[in-house]
Each structure stands twice: as structure tokens, then as C-alpha cells.
A = this chain, B = another copy of it.
Amino acid sequence: MKTSIPGPRSQELTKQLGDIQNVAAIHFFCNYDESRGNYLVDVDGNRMLDIYTQISSIPIGYNHPALLKLMSIPNNLSTLVNRPALGILPPENFPDQLTESLLSVAPKGMGRVQTMACGSCSNENAYKAMFIWYRNKERGHKSPSEEDLSSCMVNQVPGCPDLSILSFMGAFHGRTMGCLATTHSKAIHKLDVPSFDWPIAPFPTLRYPLEEFTRENAQEEARCLEEVEDLIVKWRQKGKPVAGIVIEPIQAEGGDNHASPDFFVSLRKIARKHGCAFHVDEVQTGGGNTGKQWAHEHWGMEDPADIMSFSKKLLTGGFFHKDEFQADKPFRIFNTWMGDPTKNLLLTEVLKVVRKENLLAEVTRSGKALMDGLYDLQAKYPGLLSRARGVGTFCAIDVCDDATRTSILVKARDKGVLLGGCGDRSIRFRPALVFKDYHVNIFLNIFNDVLAEHK
């Protein structure tokens, strides 16, 4: 580290950007040219081990040689400069590219995929697909009535029906208005924005270490599942039936809240029993950080979901779905761009690298080293740390309070480790898939020094 963070050049640029935008969230400015692998370099020449990776969105580290090579191929130039309206005029290689990239990692039972520009757009369109599916079912797959068609033009029932999506307290599904109605992680995300009266179920609050609280945790999960069923019934009685349930396999933004595979298996059954669609949001959990391509694979289910959305590490947004969730008519799930072939191109190469370098196995290995280290540190600093938890390198640990967490994050950064927070007082670990054992060791040593200062 050459300067404190933000350094003088970052401060200068923040001031400059402050004339154009709100800069209160800016950490520092980056030199992406000089960044490599797990290391992010800032504009003051500081080099940091990046365990936050642009809010968990860099899959195989900075400036991976395979991606640099890909973008240098003259044949790819026309993809970079001619962005098509994919829904009406796709490029020749579009079906092949979807097959080589997204379909090669299609989740069980979901053989269809629609790309979108970002995570929020993906969830918004997944919700629309669930509403359309639900209403088609209600209509017995008959054509909409004249009243449906005329009332929807003025936002009224029956054309715009009073349907709902059930979400969980602590969830994060995005910030556009449909998504935001299912996001319940932080007040500042939702304050002042009109919303829908949709049901919100409690997410299990598990006690750690899990093996010591098996019975209590099972009870807690049963309580939440019971509440889900109650809410579905209650909202049906209110005239706002639940068309779909949306859930993250691990509540990420909300504080890395885990639940057991049994919980998800039971929830899936409840959805089926009540005729609700089941949407798994893998925007943050997907892409390999848990040691599997999708976090829901850890549930071991044959029929895990009806719809699964993704973005971030997949570089393009989108959602997989079962055949029956394909809209019955064109232009219902539609927008101008419908994704971006440049991102599909990059994703194809990323997935090749992941397979060639066997990165999911690497993640499992370094994830174990990371968890072992976190358990040791939490034993060493019991007043500071608790609730170490994780799958693969998708890990988190709690700090005694928010102020101490902030201080730890700042001090770690000053010593060259970039971390992010989540929930009220958790630190989340979100390294790239190229994060190895020795990066874990570098991190643990620095983290230990930081914690020692807080003891």
C-alpha cells in the first residue's frame, strides 16, 4: 500500500465526479488496466487483494488472459459495435452461443433461457412470466376477454390482476419497483418508493454452529414454513392470490442468511401444493462461488424450481425457466435489447476457463481453507467474531456491532484487503473463482492483524 485509502488521486477524481453524480458511495477510483487476477489496483498505485469483486460480479479475476485474447479477435468486432434487438433480429451465432454458454449450465428441468440486461430486469421479467402463467391457468388457457384487454390499458382489474409475489424478510431481489416490492434488506433501499401489498414471510434465523442447534434450527425453519402457508391462505382470502414465491438460496445482501436443504425442499412442496410458481433468485449465489454452478444444486432436488434468475458473475442477466413459463405470445416478455451478445461472448469464454481450470473444485478447496481460518479466528476473538458460515468461498462472519465492522473493513482495506459488508453486522466474502489457498492465507494473516488491533 502506497497511500491511505482513498489516496490523493482518488480524492481528486471523487471531487470531479461529485459535480456530476452522488459520490457518497464511492470507495476509490480504480486502475483496471493494472489490475490482475485477485488484485485490484487503485489510481494511487495501491494494490489490494479483492474479496468483494465489484459486488460479487467478477467471475475469473481482472484481465484474465483468455478474455483479453477473446476481445482482441477481429472477428468479434462487429459484435462489439452492432448491438442488435435480440428479440426480433438476432445474429447468426445467437442460438449456438446460448447453447455453448447458458444452456451448458442450465439448471435441472429448466431448458429455456431468456437473457436480460441486469439482475433487476431479470427478476422483473421472471415475475411477469409467473403472473402470465398464473392468469393463463386461471383462464383455462383461453384467450383474454375484452374486459381483460380494456381494463389492463388503464391499470385496472381484471386485466391488471391483484396478484402477489411472496418474498422473505431480509431478501434482496433488486431495486426496480416490482423487484423492490420483494426486497426487504435495508430501509434506505425502499424508503419513499410506492409498493405493493404483497406477503412477506420470515426467513429462518439459524443458530451457529449448526451441528449444535439441530433441533432449534429445525423448529425455526418449521415455524417459517408454517407462516408461509398461512400467508398464502391469507392473501388468497384478501383477493390477492400468491402467483409465485421468490427466494435466494442464501440471503446475500440481507446478511448471508442460510437455511437447510430441507427448508427449501419443503418450501418447494408448499409452492406446488398451493399452485404458486417457485422462483429461485441466483443473481448473487450463482456462477460458482458456492463450489457448484448454482447454489440450489446443494439442495439435491430433482425439480428445484420453475424459474431461476441470474446476473453478476454470469456477466449477462437473464432467467431460466420450464417450458410452461414461456409466455404464450410474442412481445409479452420483451424489450429493445433483451440482453447483450457481447456479454454472451464473454460468458462463453468464462465458462470454458472455469471448466478447463477446474475452478469449481478450486473454490471448494479454498472455501474449506477459508472456513477453517474463520473458525480459528472466531475461536481466537470470541468477543469480536461469531457465526462464521459459508458454502464454498461464499462465506460470511458476524462482527460484534456495526461500528466495529466498519472499522475492521477500513483497516483491512488500509492493509490491502478489500471486503464488503452485508446485513446489520456481517462481513461477506465474495472472491473470484481464481481465489486459491495461498490467497486465503494472505487474507487470514492480514485479517488476524486487523482483529488483533480491535481486541
The answer to whether residues A189 and B81 also contact, given A26-B90, A176-B178, A178-B178 and a CB cut-off of 8 A, is: no
Tell me whether A22 and B94 are in contact (CB under 8 A).
Answer: no
A368 near B: Cβ within 8 Å? Answer: no
Binary interface encoding of chain A residues 146-179 relative to chain B, with 1 for a CB under 8 A from any of its CBs, else 0:
0011101111100111111000010000111110
The answer to whether residues A40 and B194 also contact, given A117-B117, A330-B22 and a CB cut-off of 8 A, is: no
Count the copies.
2
Interface residues of A in 88-144 (CB under 8 A from B): 88-92, 94-95, 98-99, 103, 111-114, 117-121, 124-125, 127-128, 131-132, 134-136, 144
A205 near B: Cβ within 8 Å? Answer: no
A327: contacting residue among B22, B84, B87, CB under 8 A? B22
Tell me whether B21 and A114 are in contact (CB under 8 A).
Answer: yes
Tell me whether B82 and A63 are in contact (CB under 8 A).
Answer: yes
Complex CA–CA separation, A78 to B30 (angstroms): 12
A332 near B: Cβ within 8 Å? Answer: yes
Please report A residues at the B interface, Cβ cutoff 8 Å: 9, 13, 16-17, 19-22, 24-33, 35, 40, 43, 54-55, 57-58, 62-64, 67-68, 70-72, 74-75, 77-85, 87-92, 94-95, 98-99, 103, 111-114, 117-121, 124-125, 127-128, 131-132, 134-136, 144, 148-150, 152-156, 159-164, 169, 174-178, 181, 184, 186-198, 200, 311-312, 315, 326-327, 329-337, 342, 346
Name 10 extra pairs, CB < 8 A, besides A21-B112, A70-B81, A163-B194: A9-B92, A17-B98, A21-B326, A26-B88, A29-B90, A30-B90, A35-B78, A62-B82, A68-B77, A72-B74
